[in-house]
Amino acid sequence: MPPRKTAKTPAPKRSRNARTPAVQPVSVVTGGAGFLGSHLVELLLSRGHRVVVIDNLVTGSTDNIQHLAGNPDFRFIKQDVTEYLYLDGSVNYVWHLASPASPIDYLELPIQTLKVGSLGTHKALGLAMSKGARFLLTSTSEVYGDPLVHPQTESYWGNVNPIGPRGCYDESKRFAEALTMAYHREHGVETRIVRIFNTYGPRMRVKDGRVVPAFVSQALGNKPITVFGDGTQTRSFCFVSDLIEGIYRLMFCEHATANQPCNIGNPHEMTMLQFAQEIVRATGSKSRVVHKPLPQDDPKQRKPDITRAREILGWEPRINLAEGLVPTIAYFRSKLPV
C-alpha cells in the first residue's frame, strides 16, 4: 500500500516575471500524436518547452508530428500509457491527453478506452507524482452525459448511462477525474482538469466518426449529409487553436480554485441542421441532408458555461465558425481523393 505522504521533487526555480521555470521546462504529453495533442505539442515548443510525446498510435498518427522530427527539443516514445512510465531527468508538466475520443473509436475499443481512462491516468499521475510535476487531465463534456441542465456548468454532476454504449468513454473520464482529485488530496499533486467541448480543425481524421469530419467529407464529395434524428439536437464548436490556448492557460493558472474542473469550449450553440447548412455553404457543396435514427444516449443539448474560464483564465474563444472552417475544409480537401 503506497504511503499517504510522499516527498516531492523540488520544483525548478521560477523567474520573477514568468509562470514557467527559469530553466527550460520539460513537458510530457500523452496522446501527443493525436489531433489535439499534436497542436498542444506545437504550442509548447513555440513557448520554449522541451517536449516528450508518449503515444501508442492506436488513434494518433506520426503524420501529425513528423514535421517536428529533428527538433532537439522534441522526443517521441511509442508506448501504451497503461504500461509503467519511466523517464530519466526532470519533468515539470504532465499533460494527459491519451484516449480514444470519437464514438467510432470507443465503440470499437470499449475495453481499451476504459483502461486508458483508469490505468493510463494512474500511470500518468504516478509519473507526475514521482517527478514533482504539475498534472493536467483532459476530460470531456461527455461527463455531463445527456444533460438535464443547460448550459452545462462545472458544478453539474451529469446524467450518464454507465451501461450504455457510450458509457465506456463517459465513465472512463469520470473515473479519471475522481482519480486525479484523489492524487491531489492524498499525495498533494498539483492537478488541473479541463472539460473539453466539441473541437474542430486541421488534423482531425477523415473517418473520425465525429460530426465535423463526417459533414465536411460528405459535403466535399457532394454526398448526402447524414443528420441523426430530426436535427434539432445542439452542439457548440470551438476551433482547435482557441481550445489549446485555454488548456495552456489552465495548466499555468495559479488561482486558488485552479484544481477544480474547468469547461473550455465555444458557447455559441447551433442545431445539427444549422451546422449542416453552414458546411454546405462553406464548401459550396450540392449535398442535401438525409436523416437517420438518433444513436442511443446521444446528448440532445451541449453548450458550455465558460464563466469560470473567463474569470480565472481570462479566456474565451476568438475564432468564429466561418473563420475556423476555412483551414479545416482546406485540410480535408488535401486528405480526400480527388
| Cβ atoms 268, 200 nearer than 8 A | no
Cell for 40? Answer: 498542444
- The pLDDT assigned to 315 comes to 98
10-residue averages of pLDDT along the chain (338 residues): 37 38 88 98 98 96 96 97 93 97 89 97 98 98 93 95 93 98 98 97 90 94 92 94 98 97 97 95 94 82 95 98 97 87
pLDDT for 245 equals 98
Q: How far apart are CA 55 and CA 77, in angstroms?
A: 7
Residue 103: its pLDDT value, please?
A: 84
Q: Identify which of 80, 175, 188 has the alpha carbon closest to the alpha carbon of residue 137.
A: 175
Segments making up each domain of the chain, as ranges: 26-199+240-264
For residue 101, the model assigns a pLDDT of 87
- H or E element: which one contains 196? strand 191-196
- The sign of the torsion formed by the CA atoms of 231, 233, 236, 240 equals negative
The full DSSP string for 232-298 is --EEE-EEHHHHHHHHHHHHT---TTTTS-EEES---EEEHHHHHHHHHHHHT----EEEEPPPTT-
pLDDT for res 256:
96
Q: Which residue carries 446524467 as its cell?
A: 159
pTM for the complete prediction? 0.90
How far is residue 91's CA from residue 333's CA, in Å, rounded to a whole number?
39
Residues facing residue 193 across a β-bridge: 137
The reported pLDDT for the residue numbered 294 is: 82
Helix intervals (H) in the chain: 35-46, 103-108, 110-115, 121-131, 167-187, 211-220, 240-251, 272-283, 307-313, 321-335
Helix axes 240-251, 35-46, angle to 10 degrees: 60
Largest Cα–Cα distance of the chain, in whole Å?
63
CATH number for the domain formed by residue range(s) 26-199+240-264? 3.40.50.720
Question: pLDDT at position 106, please?
Answer: 87
Residues with catalytic roles: 169
What is the pLDDT at residue 2? 42
> How far apart, in Å, are the Cα atoms of 82 and each of 115, 126, 203, 243?
7, 11, 25, 26
As a whole number of angstroms, the distance between CA 7 and CA 289 comes to 59
